[in-house]
Amino acid sequence: MKDQFLVTGGARLFGQVRVDGAKNSVLKLMAAALLAEGTTTLKNCPQILDVPLMQKVLEGLGCAVDVQGDTVRITTPARLSWDASFEAVRQFRASVCVLGPLTARCGYAVVALPGGDAIGSRPLDMHQSGLERLGARTHIEHGAVVAEARDLHGAEIHLDFPSVGATENILTAAVLARGRTVLDNAAREPEITDLCDMLSSMGARIAGAGTSTITIDGVPRLYPTEHHVVGDRIVAGTWAYAAAMTGGDITVGGISPAHLHLPLEKLKVAGAELETYNNGFRIRMQGRPQATDYQTLPYPGFPTDLQPMAIGLSAIARGTSVITENVFEARFRFVDEMMRLGADASVDGHHVVMRGIDKLSSTDVWSSDIRAGAGLVLAALVADGTTTVHDVHHIDRGYPNFVENLQRLGAQVQRVPEGY
């Protein structure tokens, strides 16, 4: 049975919360374990729905996966299955990250075209063209991407856009390719650096992680390792915006503030007080926030995954804000739900104009993706009455213990069955 959240507005959030490992990292690290025979151990893993989904994907490829709390152990056999066209692969977008490791380890891969969040088109053309530059042949057949490579070799590869997924698949193929690969206009996200750190601990030779040019010198084989997953900057940013929206005071641990530099700076512009620490930060807000403009861009720009939170803050800010979406064209579906809550918004192409009002009004709203769902919960915290948030399984895919953490911070929120 599906669940829903009942969120009663009016509470100011206070307290401390610690974030777990990043959803956008752990799933790619689990896939990278395919590159080495033996047991790889991941620590600080978030307890979210996507982890057991990736577990099913890896088990379908022949791995043994043991999940105990925040620790995931993946035992990869000497001979893997190369066919990842089964149903579990289609359920979430991150499953496509097995394409690079399977191509490198098996010389052949069939990976079902994945599903995931309804936030816009995310084609695999850069994934395919990158692998083809490394010597693979690829095509789409029967709803799956097929890659064949008898002898991967290094190459110079330029990405038209710094795609995180394409960067990951090219990296995980190039580490076992013969010779040197230079990847230009690579994604710079902290999760990419985390993947490079793990691959390096497995014996890969990688330079330039965290920059737009990554150099990989291929090695004959990799070895299992133990790795601590980087903290989830999107979850941390969600708590930061929750504090600002509710006029609260929240200290967030388990995250490098440098990974959220621009979102935290935007909160300061909106009137929040910020303190940073080695492994966390504190956000305090008194009164209504000031209107602030946002435009989403690849890292180190403002994250598209925090765009719903920026819209939520703008909905109750003093003045008018313009939010520009440059990454996923369908992410403004969230605005329709915000307007159900009474937000004064208008969408023009990839811009939305938000005219701030004093308070939102409660109603029923529906989550369309992970971040939209979390954004709707934050908006419900600043609405009068009780808002029902439906389709919260999306939120469970990215936010561990979301309701429990909100309750500890003082929010009035319940998880109940649909139709309650």
- Can you tell me whether residue 104 is helix, strand or coil? helix
Rg (CA), the chain: 21
Distances (CA, A) of 92 to 35, 54, 351: 21, 9, 27
Instruction: Report DSSP letters for 64-100, one per residue.
Output: EEEEETTEEEEEE-SS---EE-SHHHHT-GGGGGGHH
* Contact present, 345 and 335 (Cβ < 8 Å): yes
Spatial distance between the Cα atoms of 31 and 71, rounded to a whole number of angstroms: 15
Spatial distance between the Cα atoms of 8 and 362, rounded to a whole number of angstroms: 8
Q: Does the annotation list 377 as a binding residue?
A: no
Phi, psi of 25 (to 5 degrees): -115, -45
Spatial distance between the Cα atoms of 67 and 48, rounded to a whole number of angstroms: 12
Q: Burial, 382: exposed, middle or buried (Cβ in 10 Å; 0-12, 13-18, 19+)?
A: buried
Distances (CA, A) of 328 to 257, 331, 339, 362: 25, 6, 20, 28
Q: Does the annotation list 23 as a binding residue?
A: yes
Q: Nearest to residue 113, comparing CAs of 90, 134, 129, 92?
A: 90
Among residues 50, 83, 117, 369, which one is catalytic?
A: 117
Instruction: Report DSSP letters for 162-205, one per residue.
Output: --HHHHHHHHHHHTTSBSEEEEES----HHHHHHHHHHHHTT-E
DSSP state of 317: S
Residue 340 CA, distance from chain mean position? 26
Q: Does the annotation list 93 as a binding residue?
A: yes
- Indicate if 151 belongs to the active site: no
Residue 42 CA, distance from chain mean position? 18
- Binding-site members for UDP-N-acetyl-alpha-D-glucosamine are 93, 305, 327
- Binding-site members are 23-24, 93, 305, 327
Residue numbers annotated as active site = 117
- Binding-site members for phosphoenolpyruvate are 23-24
